[in-house]
Amino acid sequence: MFSKACKYAINAMIYVATLPEGQERAGLKEISKAVNSPEAFTGKILQELVKHDLLHSVKGPNGGFHIQGDTSKIVLSEIVEAIDGDMLFTGCALGLEKCSEDHPCPVHHKFQAIREHLTGMLMTTSLKDVADRVNIGISFLKY
Amino acid sequence: MFSKACKYAINAMIYVATLPEGQERAGLKEISKAVNSPEAFTGKILQELVKHDLLHSVKGPNGGFHIQGDTSKIVLSEIVEAIDGDMLFTGCALGLEKCSEDHPCPVHHKFQAIREHLTGMLMTTSLKDVADRVNIGISFLKY
DNA sequence: ATATTAAAAGATAAAAATATCCTCTATTTT
DNA sequence: AAAATAGAGGATATTTTTATCTTTTAATAT
pLDDT tens digits, A12-23: 999 999 998 767
Closest B-chain CA to A101: B139
If one counts every other C-beta atom within 10 angstroms of the C-beta of residue B112, the result is: 13
In whole angstroms, C18 C1' to B119 CA is 28
Domain ranges of chain B: 4-133
In whole angstroms, D20 C1' to B140 CA is 27
Residue B23 scores a pLDDT above 90: no
Question: Are the C-beta atoms of A13 and B105 separated by less than 8 Å?
Answer: no
CB of A137 nearer than 7 A to strand D: no
**Under an 8 A CB cutoff, do A131 and B4 touch?**
no
If one counts every other C-beta atom within 10 angstroms of the C-beta of residue B114, the result is: 20
pLDDT in tens, chain A (143 residues): 999 999 999 999 999 999 987 677 899 999 999 999 999 999 999 999 999 999 999 999 999 999 999 999 999 999 999 999 999 999 999 999 999 999 999 999 999 999 999 999 999 999 999 999 999 999 999 99
CATH architecture of the domain formed by A4-133: Orthogonal Bundle (1.10)
Report the interhelical angle of A4-18 vs A28-35 (nearest 10°): 110
Chain D nucleotides near the protein (CB, 7 A): 4-10, 17-22, 25-29
Beta strand pairing call for B56-58 and B64-66: antiparallel
Nearest to B105 among A95, A104, A139 (CB): A139
ipTM over 0.85: yes
Nucleotide nearest to A8 (CA to C1'): C18
**Under an 8 A CB cutoff, do A106 and B76 touch?**
no
- Burial B51-72, CB ≥16 within 10 A → b, else e: eeebbeeeeeeeebbbbeeebe
Q: Measure A42 CA to nearest chain B CA, in Å.
A: 14
Return the amino acid letter for A24.
E
Note whether B89 contacts A: Cβ–Cβ < 8 A: no
Q: Measure A56 CA to nearest chain B CA, in Å.
A: 22
